[in-house]
Amino acid sequence: MKSIKQIGRHALVLAAVLTACAVPAWAASAEVTFVAPDGYADIGRSSRDRDEALAGLKAHLEKAAESALPATQKLSIEVLQVNLAGEVEPLFRHRMEEVRVLRQVSWPSMKLHYVLRDEAGTVLKEATTELSEMDYLQRLSGRYSGALQYEKQMIDRWFASEFAADRRSSL
């Protein structure tokens, strides 16, 4: 009869093998690079705001690629320009603060260069594109909230229109 210690070791080995088999060798992913972010039109004023916005955009672009692309593709994105929704304006109360004011004329926009490759490294698509959401105040759906909600919606719309055919053709 096997001891509980031996059974535990066998179960651990089995779990490790099953986990390794479940992870695909290639998963849809995005590599996001910010090119000269100090020259972006509007990414926030403070270094903290800029760092948070860049991290949020990077995370969302990676998540969108994972959701929109087949597991056999990899997307490299260079973010060339960013202009967040709204404009930062002073707010005078007890002390000077700033607040982002959203108006119809201050829509979000981004300029990207991207390269889509298959698992062999063959370039499937490459382009420089400009994203913008001029009617961002009327189009926001309930699934977006919090920081960068308008930019996230714009990114998701772009992924849906730009990569929908790629997703269907790989299924």
The 10s digit of each residue's pLDDT in 51-95 is 999 999 999 999 999 999 999 999 999 999 999 999 888 877 666
This prediction has a pTM of 0.77
- CA separation for the pair 51, 47 (Å, rounded): 6
User: Exposed/middle/buried for 158, CB within 10 Å: 0-12, 13-18, 19+?
Assistant: buried
Q: Which residue has the higher pLDDT, 46 or 79?
A: 79
R_g (Cα) of the chain, nearest Å: 21
Q: Which residue has the higher pLDDT, 51 or 28?
A: 51
Extract the tokens encoding 92: 């005078």
- CA separation for the pair 76, 154 (Å, rounded): 18
For residue 127, which of 115, 145, 119, 139 has the smallest C-alpha distance?
A: 115
For the chain, the structural domain boundaries read 26-170
- CA separation for the pair 77, 96 (Å, rounded): 37
- Indicate if the pLDDT at residue 29 is higher than 70: yes
Three-state DSSP at 102 gives coil
